[in-house]
């Protein structure tokens, strides 16, 4: 498993370490006073159906570009110091990590708002798709709350 934390925007097959990603972001500035993270994980139940496995697909280059735009806008509009966004693709088992957003700032308030905005924006504009495998077969998810 790769634990490379060099890039702040990554789409990868491998799992990631939340601790390693937070530690990497703490090195960005000595002025960080607050860190907010959002970790999305594989959920077993979706719309009343039992999920056996998830599978994520992305549009290479465009998806990374959108995530970088989200990062830049979060820094500009919410006044945070920096943000990292990591999204996994390929097969994901129930309970496994899917997506991690780490927002670091001088104070907690801007990191909370930036993190919440970023995950909503990721779902809205990033060309990533989720396929669920249920007992009834496979289905591409068209909308996620």
Q: Which residues bind other proteins (CB under 8 A)?
A: 40-43, 56-59, 61-63, 65, 87, 98-99, 119, 122-131, 140-144
Q: 63: part of which helix (H) or strand (E)?
A: helix 62-78
- If the CB atoms of residues 61 and 107 are measured against other proteins, the closer one turns out to be 61
Nearer to other proteins, 81 or 118 (CB): 118
SS3 call for 75: helix
Cα separation, 118 vs 136, whole angstroms: 33
Q: How far apart are CA 78 and CA 76, in angstroms?
A: 6
Distance of CA 45 to the CA centre of its chain: 20
Nearer to other proteins, 33 or 60 (CB): 60
Nearer to other proteins, 8 or 58 (CB): 58
The whole-angstrom separation of Cα 45 and Cα 52 is: 9
């Amino acid at each position: 498993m790769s634990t490379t934390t060099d890039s702040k925007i990554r789409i990868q097959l491998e799992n990631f370490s939340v601790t390693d990603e937070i530690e990497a972001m703490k090195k960005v500035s000595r002025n960080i006073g607050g860190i907010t993270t959002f970790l999305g994980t594989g959920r077993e139940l979706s719309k009343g159906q039992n999920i056996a496995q998830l599978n994520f697909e992305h549009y290479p280059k465009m998806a990374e570009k959108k995530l970088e735009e989200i990062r830049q806008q979060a820094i500009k509009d919410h006044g945070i110091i920096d943000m990292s966004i990591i999204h996994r693709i390929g097969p994901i088992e129930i309970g496994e990590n899917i997506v991690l957003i780490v927002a670091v700032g001088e104070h907690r308030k801007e990191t909370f708002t930036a993190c919440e905005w970023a995950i909503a924006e990721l779902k809205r504009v990033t060309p990533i798709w989720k396929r669920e495998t249920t007992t009834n077969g496979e289905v591409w998810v068209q909308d996620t709350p």
